[in-house]
Every structure is written in structure tokens, then in C-alpha cells.
Amino acid sequence: MNVLLSPQPPVFPHQHENPRLSPQRSVSPLQSMATRKRKADDDGDESMASTSPAISARTLSRPSKKFRSHEVIGRPLSLPRLLETLDTAQLRTVLERICERHPEIGQEVTAGAPRPTVNSAITVLDDYRRKLKESVPYGESSPEYTYYRVKDSLVALLDALSDFTPQFLPPNETQPTKSLEFLDYATGLLHELPDWNPQAYRHHKDNAYEDISKAWELVLNEGAKRGGGFNLHSAGWDEKLTRHNQQSGGRLQTAVSAMANNVGWMGHNMNPGSGPNERESILNQLMSGSYGSPVRVGPW
């Protein structure tokens, strides 16, 4: 009777449904609020990522191509390329003009440039000597014609020699060996200069011999102070100077006198009056280090 009068129809379970369903769990209000908040945050992040200008710029930007101008126009060389085109003479001329206009730059160049060596000075003087030989006229010619043909090259050579010589003299040069090496070359250079018959044409060479003889004298006196004359004799400079004096016709007598005063007792050519026993005795004292020591007299 109750079944027939029931207002709700009976509900039969579906054949595929599990008749054993777990009971529904109650969800607390706090958990539902946290779930809705996380969902809202995720939605906001997605909307910001889709509308962010930085991200869109990175995705849309492309590498820029280097602009290359096809226009051809004349322009001067850069300084490094310009210096590559200059030879030694041109570069020296440019540098000299700059130093003349700006003396402070000249001082920096002088302080920063490497110290000239004997070989570098000889290289420069050899170039002047080559130009002098090239200026000599071919064939036979009068002394007057030859002199005026070579005068400019001769004066240039002697001026260069006069400028280089003080560089290798004391006190600027402290090593006597370097000074003597340069003077040996310079004196040999003077021997090669021609001797003209008219005296008026020989004053260049005579003056050069006088100056080089004084230079020898200065170096010999300073060298004797350091080595007592022994180094000058042992290196054979006394014999070299004697040969130079003979080739110059006795125009290096001042230098020979300086050598005789300092090491005359050592050289056979400098002081022939001294006997070999005396020279050997003094030499032995120098070698043993007893030369100049006080002599003890008596038993005490």
C-alpha cells in the first residue's frame, strides 16, 4: 500500500555504476577559499604573460644587419698608414719640424730615445763617407775643381764627425774602451780624406786632426786614472795611436804625448830609454798588487 502511494518513483542503480560509493566528504570553507585564490592567481599569471611587452619584444625582435655604405669617396690616410709610407729621411724631417715647433716634445724624444752606440754612429758616418766618394769627379781634374765638387759632402762629413765625437768622450761616456773604439774609427776616417796641394784646401783636414788629437788626449788621461795605464797598454792602444800618428804625418803629437805621460814606461815606442828589466819589474808589481805600496826599511 505504501509503495503504491509513494510520490517519488523508485531509483534503480545503473548497471555500470559501482553500487558501493564512498560517502561524500565535507569541504571546509577555508579550503574552498584557498582553492579559488590559487585559481585566480594562475589566471592572472597567464594573462600577464600573454600581455607582457618584454616577452613580446623578445619574440618579435630580429638581429639587425650591419649597415654598409656603398658610397665611394676620397679621404686621407690614417696616421698609422701615413707613417708606413715615409722613409727614414722623411720621418726624421717631420719629427725635427715638430720638435722645433714644440721644444717640450724634443726633450721627451731626447730622454726617451735609446743611447747611441759606436756601431750606430759608424753607420751614419759611413753614409756620409759614401756620399763624399760619390761626389769625386771621374778622371783627372784640377785640385780647385775637385775641391769645389766635394766641398759640400766634405763639410757635411766633418760636421757629423764633430757632432758625434763628444757623445763618446768623458764624462758623457764612462767606458774608455768605447771612447777609444770610436776615436780609432774616426782617426782612420780622417786618413782617407784627400791632401790637396794648396794649403787653403787642407784646413778642413788639419782642423779635424787637431780636434781628434785633443779627444785622444782627454780619453787617455781619464783611462790612465782608472787603470794606471795598464789597460791601455795591454789592449794595444799605445801601438794603434803610434800608427795613427805616423799616418797623419805627426799631427797627433798631442795625443802621443798624453800616452807617453801615462803609459810611456810600458810601450817600447813611447819611451825607448827605459830598459826591459825596469818595465818588467813594474809590470810584475802591478800584477801582484804591490805597486805603489810603502817600502819598509830596517828590521822593524
Report how far residue 266's alpha carbon sits from residue 258's, in angstroms, rounded to the nearest whole number.
13
Under DSSP, is residue 67 helix (H, G, I), strand (E, B) or coil? coil
How much is the mean pLDDT over the chain?
A: 76
Residue of higher predicted confidence among 45 and 274 = 45
Hey, what domains does the chain have and what are their CATH numbers? 113-288 (1.20.58.1590)
Question: Cis before residue 294, ω within 30 degrees of 0?
Answer: no
Higher pLDDT pick, 171 / 21? 171
Compute how many other C-beta atoms are within 10 angstroms of the C-beta atom of residue 249: 11
CB count, 10 Å around CB of 66? 5
Cβ(228)–Cβ(286) below 8 Å:
yes
Q: Is 223 exposed, middle or buried (0-12, 13-18, 19+ CB in 10 A)?
A: buried
For the chain, the straight-line distance linking the first and the last C-alpha, in angstroms and rounded, comes to: 168
What confidence score (pLDDT) does residue 279 get?
Answer: 45
Instruction: Check residues 69 and 123 and name the one with the higher pLDDT.
Output: 123
pLDDT of the residue at 140: 81
* Portion of the chain with pLDDT greater than 70, in percent: 62
The three state secondary structure string of 68-94 is CCCCCCCCCCCHHHHHHCCCHHHHHHH
What is this structure's pTM?
0.64
Q: pLDDT at residue 143 above 50? A: yes
Q: What is the pLDDT of residue 40?
A: 52
Nearest to 120 by CA among 38, 48, 185, 216: 185
Residue 204: what pLDDT? 92
pLDDT digits (tens, 9 = 90+) for 56-114: 555 555 656 556 667 889 999 999 999 999 999 999 999 999 999 999 999 999 999 99
Q: Other C-beta atoms within 10 Å of 258: how many? A: 23
Measured on CA atoms in the order 95, 100, 103, 106, is the torsion positive or negative? positive
Distance CA 233, CA 176 (A): 13
pLDDT digits (tens, 9 = 90+) for 191-250: 999 887 777 788 999 999 999 999 999 999 888 777 655 567 667 888 899 999 999 999
Q: What is the pLDDT of residue 293?
A: 43
Distance CA 161, CA 164 (A): 5
Residue-wise pLDDT tens digits, 184-195: 999 999 999 988
